[in-house]
Copies of this chain bind each other. A is one copy, B any other.
Amino acid sequence: MKGNGANAIQRGRGLGPNAALIGEPGGLTRITTPALVLRLDLFERNLARMGEFLRGRGLKIRPHSKTHKCSEIAKRQIAAGALGTCCATLREAEAMVAAGIAGVLITSPVVGAAKVERLARLNMAADGLMVVADNPENVRELAHTVRAGGGELTVLVDVDVGMQRTGVATIAAAVELAKQIDTSDGIRFGGIQGYSGMVQHIEDYDDRAATYGVHLDRFAATAAALTEAELAPAIVTGGGTGTIAIDAARGVINEHQAGSYIFMDVEYNLIEIVEDRGAPPFATALTMRNTVVSANAEGFVTIDGGFKCFATDGPFPELCDGAPEGAKYSYFGDEHGRIEFANDGETLPVGSQVELVTPHCDPTVNLHDYIHAVRGDVIENIWRIDARGVL
Protein backbone atom coordinates (compact mmCIF):
# COMPACT_ATOMS: atom_id res chain seq x y z
CA MET A 1 0.00 0.00 0.00
CA LYS A 2 1.48 3.31 -1.10
CA GLY A 3 0.74 7.03 -0.88
CA ASN A 4 -2.41 7.81 1.09
CA GLY A 5 -3.40 4.16 1.31
CA ALA A 6 -3.16 3.95 5.09
CA ASN A 7 -5.39 7.00 5.47
CA ALA A 8 -7.74 5.53 2.94
CA ILE A 9 -8.21 2.42 5.06
CA GLN A 10 -8.96 4.58 8.08
CA ARG A 11 -11.44 6.68 6.15
CA GLY A 12 -12.75 3.63 4.35
CA ARG A 13 -13.87 1.55 7.32
CA GLY A 14 -17.20 -0.02 6.53
CA LEU A 15 -17.17 1.17 2.94
CA GLY A 16 -16.74 -2.22 1.31
CA PRO A 17 -13.96 -3.95 -0.56
CA ASN A 18 -12.95 -0.87 -2.57
CA ALA A 19 -12.23 1.32 0.46
CA ALA A 20 -8.46 0.87 0.14
CA LEU A 21 -8.62 2.36 -3.38
CA ILE A 22 -9.96 5.75 -2.24
CA GLY A 23 -7.61 8.45 -3.51
CA GLU A 24 -5.31 6.02 -5.34
CA PRO A 25 -4.30 7.01 -8.88
CA GLY A 26 -6.00 4.68 -11.35
CA GLY A 27 -8.15 3.23 -8.57
CA LEU A 28 -11.19 2.98 -10.81
CA THR A 29 -9.41 0.56 -13.17
CA ARG A 30 -8.74 -1.82 -10.24
CA ILE A 31 -12.20 -1.59 -8.67
CA THR A 32 -13.92 -4.74 -7.41
CA THR A 33 -17.18 -5.24 -9.28
CA PRO A 34 -20.16 -5.13 -9.72
CA ALA A 35 -19.79 -1.51 -8.63
CA LEU A 36 -22.07 1.50 -8.94
CA VAL A 37 -19.93 4.38 -10.23
CA LEU A 38 -20.93 8.04 -10.00
CA ARG A 39 -19.00 10.54 -12.14
CA LEU A 40 -18.78 13.52 -9.80
CA ASP A 41 -18.22 16.07 -12.59
CA LEU A 42 -21.49 15.04 -14.25
CA PHE A 43 -23.38 14.68 -10.96
CA GLU A 44 -22.32 18.18 -9.87
CA ARG A 45 -23.26 19.56 -13.28
CA ASN A 46 -26.71 17.96 -12.95
CA LEU A 47 -27.15 19.56 -9.52
CA ALA A 48 -26.08 22.95 -10.86
CA ARG A 49 -28.27 22.74 -13.97
CA MET A 50 -31.34 21.94 -11.92
CA GLY A 51 -30.55 24.94 -9.71
CA GLU A 52 -30.16 27.23 -12.72
CA PHE A 53 -33.34 25.93 -14.28
CA LEU A 54 -35.46 26.45 -11.16
CA ARG A 55 -34.09 29.89 -10.30
CA GLY A 56 -36.56 32.56 -11.30
CA ARG A 57 -39.33 30.06 -12.05
CA GLY A 58 -40.96 30.20 -8.61
CA LEU A 59 -40.33 26.50 -8.08
CA LYS A 60 -38.23 25.05 -5.27
CA ILE A 61 -37.00 21.49 -5.08
CA ARG A 62 -37.18 18.85 -2.34
CA PRO A 63 -35.63 16.06 -4.43
CA HIS A 64 -36.60 12.44 -3.93
CA SER A 65 -34.29 10.14 -1.96
CA LYS A 66 -35.99 7.01 -3.32
CA THR A 67 -33.63 7.41 -6.29
CA HIS A 68 -30.37 7.25 -4.32
CA LYS A 69 -31.22 6.13 -0.74
CA CYS A 70 -27.96 7.81 0.21
CA SER A 71 -27.72 10.57 2.84
CA GLU A 72 -24.39 11.82 1.40
CA ILE A 73 -26.20 12.62 -1.85
CA ALA A 74 -29.15 14.23 -0.05
CA LYS A 75 -26.67 16.48 1.78
CA ARG A 76 -25.12 17.58 -1.51
CA GLN A 77 -28.54 18.33 -2.97
CA ILE A 78 -29.36 20.48 0.06
CA ALA A 79 -26.01 22.26 -0.24
CA ALA A 80 -27.02 23.02 -3.84
CA GLY A 81 -30.24 24.67 -2.67
CA ALA A 82 -32.78 21.90 -2.04
CA LEU A 83 -35.35 22.44 0.74
CA GLY A 84 -34.74 19.01 2.25
CA THR A 85 -35.47 15.59 0.86
CA CYS A 86 -38.48 13.48 -0.02
CA CYS A 87 -38.60 9.84 1.15
CA ALA A 88 -40.83 7.03 -0.10
CA THR A 89 -40.66 5.01 3.10
CA LEU A 90 -40.30 5.40 6.84
CA ARG A 91 -37.04 3.44 6.62
CA GLU A 92 -35.60 6.03 4.22
CA ALA A 93 -36.77 8.87 6.46
CA GLU A 94 -35.17 7.28 9.54
CA ALA A 95 -31.85 6.97 7.71
CA MET A 96 -31.97 10.58 6.48
CA VAL A 97 -32.85 11.95 9.93
CA ALA A 98 -30.12 9.82 11.50
CA ALA A 99 -27.68 11.47 9.09
CA GLY A 100 -28.78 14.91 10.33
CA ILE A 101 -30.99 15.91 7.41
CA ALA A 102 -33.82 18.40 8.04
CA GLY A 103 -36.94 18.92 5.96
CA VAL A 104 -37.85 15.29 5.24
CA LEU A 105 -41.23 14.72 3.54
CA ILE A 106 -42.50 11.12 3.46
CA THR A 107 -44.46 10.88 0.20
CA SER A 108 -46.42 7.65 0.84
CA PRO A 109 -48.95 7.06 3.60
CA VAL A 110 -47.38 5.51 6.72
CA VAL A 111 -49.84 2.83 7.81
CA GLY A 112 -50.21 0.53 10.83
CA ALA A 113 -49.68 1.00 14.57
CA ALA A 114 -46.04 -0.09 14.61
CA LYS A 115 -45.03 2.25 11.80
CA VAL A 116 -47.05 5.18 13.13
CA GLU A 117 -45.32 4.76 16.50
CA ARG A 118 -41.91 4.78 14.78
CA LEU A 119 -42.97 7.87 12.86
CA ALA A 120 -43.98 9.65 16.08
CA ARG A 121 -40.61 8.80 17.64
CA LEU A 122 -38.79 9.94 14.51
CA ASN A 123 -40.71 13.21 14.59
CA MET A 124 -39.32 13.97 18.06
CA ALA A 125 -35.77 13.56 16.72
CA ALA A 126 -36.30 15.30 13.39
CA ASP A 127 -36.30 18.92 12.25
CA GLY A 128 -39.22 19.67 9.92
CA LEU A 129 -40.50 16.13 9.33
CA MET A 130 -43.68 15.84 7.23
CA VAL A 131 -45.85 12.96 6.02
CA VAL A 132 -48.72 12.57 3.57
CA ALA A 133 -52.05 10.87 4.36
CA ASP A 134 -55.08 9.88 2.28
CA ASN A 135 -57.35 8.20 4.82
CA PRO A 136 -59.35 9.54 7.82
CA GLU A 137 -58.59 6.54 10.05
CA ASN A 138 -54.87 6.92 9.35
CA VAL A 139 -55.11 10.64 10.19
CA ARG A 140 -56.83 9.81 13.49
CA GLU A 141 -54.07 7.32 14.33
CA LEU A 142 -51.34 9.80 13.38
CA ALA A 143 -52.86 12.54 15.54
CA HIS A 144 -53.47 10.25 18.51
CA THR A 145 -50.01 8.68 18.48
CA VAL A 146 -48.05 11.87 17.88
CA ARG A 147 -50.04 13.71 20.53
CA ALA A 148 -49.50 10.89 23.04
CA GLY A 149 -45.76 11.27 22.53
CA GLY A 150 -45.96 15.02 23.12
CA GLY A 151 -45.05 16.07 19.60
CA GLU A 152 -46.62 17.80 16.63
CA LEU A 153 -46.31 16.60 13.04
CA THR A 154 -47.04 18.30 9.74
CA VAL A 155 -49.37 16.27 7.53
CA LEU A 156 -50.06 16.88 3.82
CA VAL A 157 -53.13 15.59 2.02
CA ASP A 158 -52.12 13.15 -0.69
CA VAL A 159 -54.32 13.84 -3.74
CA ASP A 160 -54.89 11.28 -6.49
CA VAL A 161 -54.40 13.36 -9.64
CA GLY A 162 -54.95 10.46 -12.03
CA MET A 163 -52.76 7.46 -11.28
CA GLN A 164 -55.04 5.97 -8.56
CA ARG A 165 -52.07 4.58 -6.62
CA THR A 166 -52.44 6.61 -3.45
CA GLY A 167 -54.30 9.82 -2.63
CA VAL A 168 -57.85 10.92 -1.96
CA ALA A 169 -60.13 10.37 -4.94
CA THR A 170 -62.18 13.59 -4.95
CA ILE A 171 -61.81 17.29 -4.24
CA ALA A 172 -64.48 17.00 -1.55
CA ALA A 173 -62.51 14.24 0.18
CA ALA A 174 -59.36 16.39 0.03
CA VAL A 175 -61.12 19.29 1.73
CA GLU A 176 -62.65 16.96 4.29
CA LEU A 177 -59.28 15.39 5.16
CA ALA A 178 -57.55 18.78 5.33
CA LYS A 179 -60.22 19.96 7.77
CA GLN A 180 -59.73 16.85 9.88
CA ILE A 181 -55.96 17.43 9.97
CA ASP A 182 -56.40 21.13 10.72
CA THR A 183 -58.72 20.48 13.65
CA SER A 184 -56.82 17.53 15.18
CA ASP A 185 -54.44 18.11 18.07
CA GLY A 186 -50.97 16.68 17.47
CA ILE A 187 -50.90 17.32 13.73
CA ARG A 188 -51.03 20.41 11.54
CA PHE A 189 -52.10 20.84 7.92
CA GLY A 190 -49.05 21.43 5.70
CA GLY A 191 -50.40 21.36 2.16
CA ILE A 192 -51.07 18.88 -0.63
CA GLN A 193 -49.22 16.35 -2.76
CA GLY A 194 -50.18 15.22 -6.27
CA TYR A 195 -47.69 12.89 -7.92
CA SER A 196 -48.22 11.42 -11.34
CA GLY A 197 -45.68 8.61 -11.76
CA MET A 198 -47.49 7.23 -14.79
CA VAL A 199 -46.71 10.22 -17.03
CA GLN A 200 -42.98 10.50 -16.29
CA HIS A 201 -41.94 8.10 -19.05
CA ILE A 202 -44.31 9.10 -21.86
CA GLU A 203 -41.68 9.58 -24.57
CA ASP A 204 -43.15 12.43 -26.59
CA TYR A 205 -43.15 15.76 -24.79
CA ASP A 206 -46.50 16.96 -26.16
CA ASP A 207 -48.23 13.67 -25.29
CA ARG A 208 -46.77 13.87 -21.81
CA ALA A 209 -47.81 17.50 -21.39
CA ALA A 210 -51.35 16.69 -22.58
CA THR A 211 -51.90 13.74 -20.21
CA TYR A 212 -50.19 15.45 -17.30
CA GLY A 213 -52.07 18.67 -17.99
CA VAL A 214 -55.35 16.97 -17.02
CA HIS A 215 -53.72 15.83 -13.76
CA LEU A 216 -52.43 19.34 -13.04
CA ASP A 217 -55.89 20.79 -13.72
CA ARG A 218 -57.34 18.46 -11.10
CA PHE A 219 -54.55 19.35 -8.67
CA ALA A 220 -55.07 23.09 -9.24
CA ALA A 221 -58.81 22.71 -8.65
CA THR A 222 -58.07 20.92 -5.37
CA ALA A 223 -55.77 23.75 -4.26
CA ALA A 224 -58.47 26.30 -5.19
CA ALA A 225 -61.16 24.44 -3.24
CA LEU A 226 -58.92 24.35 -0.17
CA THR A 227 -58.20 28.07 -0.46
CA GLU A 228 -61.93 28.63 -0.75
CA ALA A 229 -62.37 26.63 2.48
CA GLU A 230 -59.74 28.84 4.17
CA LEU A 231 -57.22 26.03 4.13
CA ALA A 232 -54.87 27.41 1.48
CA PRO A 233 -52.09 24.82 1.05
CA ALA A 234 -48.65 26.24 1.90
CA ILE A 235 -46.92 23.35 0.17
CA VAL A 236 -48.15 22.11 -3.21
CA THR A 237 -45.74 19.31 -4.10
CA GLY A 238 -45.32 16.85 -6.96
CA GLY A 239 -43.48 16.29 -10.21
CA GLY A 240 -40.69 14.07 -11.43
CA THR A 241 -37.71 14.34 -13.76
CA GLY A 242 -39.99 13.79 -16.75
CA THR A 243 -42.24 16.77 -15.97
CA ILE A 244 -39.83 19.49 -14.84
CA ALA A 245 -40.44 21.70 -17.86
CA ILE A 246 -44.21 21.20 -17.70
CA ASP A 247 -44.32 21.91 -13.97
CA ALA A 248 -42.26 25.08 -14.46
CA ALA A 249 -44.52 26.24 -17.29
CA ARG A 250 -47.79 25.49 -15.52
CA GLY A 251 -46.99 26.91 -12.08
CA VAL A 252 -49.44 24.68 -10.16
CA ILE A 253 -46.91 23.14 -7.79
CA ASN A 254 -44.46 25.13 -5.70
CA GLU A 255 -42.17 22.27 -4.61
CA HIS A 256 -40.71 19.73 -6.99
CA GLN A 257 -39.88 16.08 -6.14
CA ALA A 258 -37.62 15.13 -9.08
CA GLY A 259 -35.10 12.44 -8.19
CA SER A 260 -33.60 10.73 -11.23
CA TYR A 261 -32.10 13.93 -12.73
CA ILE A 262 -28.97 13.45 -10.63
CA PHE A 263 -28.16 10.03 -12.16
CA MET A 264 -30.23 9.54 -15.34
CA ASP A 265 -30.73 6.03 -16.77
CA VAL A 266 -31.75 4.16 -19.93
CA GLU A 267 -35.44 4.87 -19.28
CA TYR A 268 -35.04 8.63 -18.83
CA ASN A 269 -32.52 8.85 -21.67
CA LEU A 270 -35.32 7.58 -23.94
CA ILE A 271 -37.60 10.54 -23.33
CA GLU A 272 -37.56 14.19 -24.29
CA ILE A 273 -36.93 16.15 -21.12
CA VAL A 274 -36.63 18.84 -23.76
CA GLU A 275 -33.77 21.24 -23.83
CA ASP A 276 -35.51 23.33 -26.44
CA ARG A 277 -38.36 24.05 -24.05
CA GLY A 278 -36.03 25.12 -21.28
CA ALA A 279 -35.60 21.90 -19.32
CA PRO A 280 -31.99 21.22 -18.44
CA PRO A 281 -29.97 18.61 -20.34
CA PHE A 282 -29.04 16.16 -17.60
CA ALA A 283 -26.05 13.89 -18.12
CA THR A 284 -25.82 10.17 -17.36
CA ALA A 285 -23.70 10.40 -14.22
CA LEU A 286 -24.35 6.89 -12.84
CA THR A 287 -23.07 3.66 -14.39
CA MET A 288 -22.52 0.06 -13.39
CA ARG A 289 -19.00 -1.30 -13.72
CA ASN A 290 -18.73 -5.04 -14.34
CA THR A 291 -15.99 -7.58 -15.03
CA VAL A 292 -15.79 -10.25 -17.73
CA VAL A 293 -15.72 -13.54 -15.80
CA SER A 294 -15.94 -16.11 -18.60
CA ALA A 295 -15.02 -15.96 -22.30
CA ASN A 296 -15.13 -19.48 -23.73
CA ALA A 297 -18.00 -19.03 -26.20
CA GLU A 298 -17.92 -17.53 -29.65
CA GLY A 299 -19.63 -14.19 -30.19
CA PHE A 300 -20.25 -13.32 -26.56
CA VAL A 301 -18.74 -13.21 -23.08
CA THR A 302 -20.19 -13.38 -19.56
CA ILE A 303 -19.99 -10.54 -17.00
CA ASP A 304 -20.68 -10.47 -13.27
CA GLY A 305 -24.05 -8.70 -13.32
CA GLY A 306 -27.55 -10.15 -13.73
CA PHE A 307 -30.91 -9.96 -11.91
CA LYS A 308 -29.22 -9.16 -8.58
CA CYS A 309 -27.21 -6.28 -10.07
CA PHE A 310 -29.70 -4.50 -12.37
CA ALA A 311 -33.41 -3.81 -11.88
CA THR A 312 -35.41 -5.79 -14.43
CA ASP A 313 -38.65 -3.80 -14.46
CA GLY A 314 -37.56 -1.58 -17.34
CA PRO A 315 -35.39 -1.75 -20.47
CA PHE A 316 -32.04 -3.57 -20.60
CA PRO A 317 -28.81 -1.98 -19.34
CA GLU A 318 -26.82 -0.35 -22.16
CA LEU A 319 -23.07 -0.67 -22.63
CA CYS A 320 -21.32 2.71 -22.59
CA ASP A 321 -17.65 1.89 -22.04
CA GLY A 322 -15.10 -0.90 -22.46
CA ALA A 323 -16.89 -2.96 -25.13
CA PRO A 324 -16.65 -2.79 -28.94
CA GLU A 325 -19.17 -0.56 -30.72
CA GLY A 326 -22.52 -2.26 -31.18
CA ALA A 327 -22.12 -4.82 -28.37
CA LYS A 328 -25.36 -5.54 -26.48
CA TYR A 329 -26.11 -6.64 -22.93
CA SER A 330 -28.69 -9.28 -22.06
CA TYR A 331 -29.53 -11.07 -18.80
CA PHE A 332 -27.85 -14.41 -18.14
CA GLY A 333 -29.36 -15.36 -14.77
CA ASP A 334 -29.21 -14.02 -11.22
CA GLU A 335 -25.49 -13.23 -11.09
CA HIS A 336 -24.48 -12.99 -14.75
CA GLY A 337 -25.01 -11.00 -17.91
CA ARG A 338 -24.10 -11.68 -21.50
CA ILE A 339 -22.34 -9.24 -23.81
CA GLU A 340 -23.01 -10.13 -27.41
CA PHE A 341 -20.70 -8.64 -30.02
CA ALA A 342 -21.82 -7.09 -33.29
CA ASN A 343 -18.96 -8.37 -35.44
CA ASP A 344 -17.19 -11.69 -35.99
CA GLY A 345 -14.00 -12.18 -34.04
CA GLU A 346 -14.78 -9.56 -31.39
CA THR A 347 -14.32 -10.57 -27.76
CA LEU A 348 -13.14 -9.26 -24.39
CA PRO A 349 -10.57 -11.00 -22.19
CA VAL A 350 -11.49 -12.45 -18.79
CA GLY A 351 -10.77 -9.78 -16.18
CA SER A 352 -11.46 -6.80 -18.42
CA GLN A 353 -14.09 -4.32 -17.25
CA VAL A 354 -17.04 -2.66 -18.96
CA GLU A 355 -19.52 0.02 -17.92
CA LEU A 356 -23.26 0.13 -18.49
CA VAL A 357 -25.98 2.73 -18.12
CA THR A 358 -28.44 1.43 -15.52
CA PRO A 359 -31.90 0.49 -16.87
CA HIS A 360 -34.08 2.09 -14.15
CA CYS A 361 -31.85 3.82 -11.63
CA ASP A 362 -34.02 3.74 -8.47
CA PRO A 363 -34.53 -0.03 -8.07
CA THR A 364 -31.02 -0.70 -9.43
CA VAL A 365 -29.39 1.43 -6.73
CA ASN A 366 -31.57 -0.37 -4.17
CA LEU A 367 -29.73 -3.64 -5.00
CA HIS A 368 -26.37 -2.22 -3.94
CA ASP A 369 -24.64 -1.07 -0.76
CA TYR A 370 -22.14 1.52 -2.02
CA ILE A 371 -21.84 4.34 -4.55
CA HIS A 372 -18.28 4.85 -5.78
CA ALA A 373 -17.87 8.59 -6.41
CA VAL A 374 -15.12 9.11 -8.98
CA ARG A 375 -13.35 11.95 -10.75
CA GLY A 376 -11.38 10.78 -13.77
CA ASP A 377 -9.96 7.40 -12.75
CA VAL A 378 -9.67 8.28 -9.05
CA ILE A 379 -12.22 6.99 -6.56
CA GLU A 380 -12.68 10.19 -4.57
CA ASN A 381 -15.13 8.73 -2.07
CA ILE A 382 -17.41 5.80 -1.36
CA TRP A 383 -20.88 6.55 -0.03
CA ARG A 384 -23.00 3.97 1.73
CA ILE A 385 -26.52 3.52 0.36
CA ASP A 386 -27.57 3.88 3.97
CA ALA A 387 -31.33 4.05 3.42
CA ARG A 388 -31.70 0.82 1.43
CA GLY A 389 -33.93 -1.97 2.70
CA VAL A 390 -37.71 -2.04 2.87
CA LEU A 391 -38.38 -2.37 6.61
Binding site for B on A (CB under 8 A): 16-18, 30, 32-35, 66, 88-89, 108-109, 111-115, 118, 134-135, 137-138, 160, 164-169, 173, 197, 291-297, 300, 302, 304-305, 307-309, 311-313, 331-336, 338, 350-351, 360, 362-363, 366-370, 389-391
Contacts and interface: CB of A to CB of B under 8 A. Distances in A.
A165 B333 contact: yes
A90 to B, nearest CB: 9
B166 A294 contact: yes
Contacts of A331: 313
Given A292-B111, A334-B362, A351-B137, A391 B16 contact: yes
A246 to B, nearest CB: 20
A111 B351 contact: yes
Contact of A308 (B300, B363, B368): B363
A108 B166 contact: no
B390 A308 contact: yes
Nearest to A107: B335
Nearest to A16: B391
Nearest to A168: B296
A292 B113 CA distance: 13
B111 A165 contact: no
Contact of A350 (B16, B135, B309): B135
Contacts of A113: 30
27 contacts: A16-B391, A17-B391, A33-B112, A66-B334, A108-B304, A108-B335, A109-B294, A109-B350, A111-B293, A111-B304, A134-B294, A134-B296, A138-B350, A138-B351, A160-B297, A165-B294, A167-B296, A173-B296, A197-B333, A305-B390, A307-B311, A308-B366, A308-B390, A311-B312, A367-B390, A368-B389, A369-B389
**Most B Cβ at <10 Å: residue of A33, A334, A362, A390:** A390
A243 to B, nearest CB: 15
Contacts of A302: 165-166
**Most B Cβ at <10 Å: residue of A292, A338, A350, A370:** A350
Given A293-B108, A308-B390, A312-B311, A367 B367 contact: yes
Contact of A391 (B108, B112, B370): B370
A334 B312 contact: no
A108 B34 CA distance: 14
Contacts of A16: 391
